[in-house]
Amino acid sequence: MIYGLWQNPRYVETAALVLGGLILLSIFTFFLKRKGPPYTSAWASLLSWLYVAPLLFVAFALPRPWPLIFITIMGVLSAKSFFQLVGMYHRSWFVWATYVFIFALGFMIESGQTDHYFHIMPMIFLGTILLIPLLRNSATHMIQYIALSLLAFIFWGWSYMHMGRLLMFEHGELMVLYLYLLTEVSENATWACSRLFGKIKPFDKISSRVSLEGMIVASAVTMLLAWGMRHLLPDRSEQFWIAAGAVAVIFGRMGDLIINVFRRDLGIKNTGIFIIGRDGILSRVEKLIFVGPMFFYIYIYLQQTNGQ
């Protein structure tokens, strides 16, 4: 039975607005998709959102700990995609160690043990995977395997799982959904504007879809959305929604660009298909690897500053 947030008027209103807006935009772009690739791409992206958005709203509406379980599984699937991306998926000892530790982070968050163990988990993980070469009595390529495993755990374990820590705050599910919507809008606005009229591309050797003009327009759109949907935050004060919008704009793009560095270095265009019109699941989560921890600690700082 689905209940919980569906009894929250703010959540129901947000779900209705987002889904209604997606339907209207999809109808509008459907009649424009014959005009060229930019409109076809926009149509495919909006169509995929008609599948993804209901899934997100249902997942976060479930009672605890299901939203945390959903986030944890997304972290594991992202790590799996990363291992496939770098050609390391066959190194099962390292892969399974990463999965186990990501699930361990989820358990720590749910049991309230983050203050004691969460911050030292990267060192514990490193110590664990350093034992694998000894147990296997092998030194071949082990530096590479250890480094990539640590990177996978830092990104889609320790860093990304700060989204799970945000869930533990009052109305945390609303806050996590708020951040995800902001980062998605920021990303898509950047790509759309860059493709339509972007000329200055400061990261052209990393991503041709990001332009200075696109980032400027996306920043304005994202900040406007952050203000318009600030009712999803526990505190609607100006400093909180401005912080959320800025983090989504700056650190959301950083996550996307960093993963593009890996793709370009490996000569891979995308990370697989997640759902029609979308890239792989890694691309759905990569924008949150910096957004999660940055907003988590900024949020705590703002609370302490305001004496909450």
Q: What is the mean pLDDT of residues 230-242?
A: 89
pLDDT beyond 70 at 196: yes
Confidence of residue 85 (pLDDT cuts 50, 70, 90): confident
Q: Say what the pLDDT of residue 15 is.
A: 80
Q: What is the mean pLDDT of residues 163-173?
A: 90
Q: What is the mean pLDDT of residues 221-242?
A: 90
pLDDT beyond 70 at 37: no
Q: Which of the listed ranges 80-89, 112-121, 199-208, 216-225 does the model predict with the highest average pLDDT?
A: 216-225
Closest CA to 85 of 142, 139, 151, 133: 151
Backbone torsion region of residue 280, taken as left when φ is above 0, otherwise alpha when ψ lies between -120 and 50, otherwise beta: beta
- Within the chain, residue ranges assigned H as helices are 9-30, 37-61, 66-85, 92-111, 114-117, 121-129, 131-136, 142-153, 162-167, 172-197, 212-228, 238-266, 281-285, 288-305
Tokens at 252, concatenated: 């959301």
Are 237 and 253 a contacting pair, CB within 8 Å?
Answer: no
pLDDT beyond 70 at 274: no
Distance from C-alpha of 58 to C-alpha of 2, rounded to nearest angstrom: 8
Burial class (CB in 10 A: 0-12, 13-18, 19+), 189: buried
Confidence of residue 7 (pLDDT cuts 50, 70, 90): confident
Q: Which of the listed ranges 131-140, 183-192, 204-213, 257-266 does the model predict with the highest average pLDDT?
A: 131-140
Q: Say what the pLDDT of residue 42 is.
A: 61
Using DSSP's 3-state secondary structure scheme, residue 231 falls into helix
Confidence of residue 3 (pLDDT cuts 50, 70, 90): low
Residues 6+ away with beta carbon under 8 Å from 249: 186, 215, 218, 219, 222, 223
Q: What is the mean pLDDT of residues 193-211?
A: 85
Distance from C-alpha of 182 to C-alpha of 71, rounded to nearest angstrom: 17
Comparing 39 with 52, which gets the higher pLDDT? 52
Looking at every residue in the chain, the average pLDDT score rounds to 84
Give the residue extent of every domain in the chain.
4-65+170-305, 86-164
Confidence of residue 276 (pLDDT cuts 50, 70, 90): very low
Q: Say what the pLDDT of residue 96 is.
A: 95
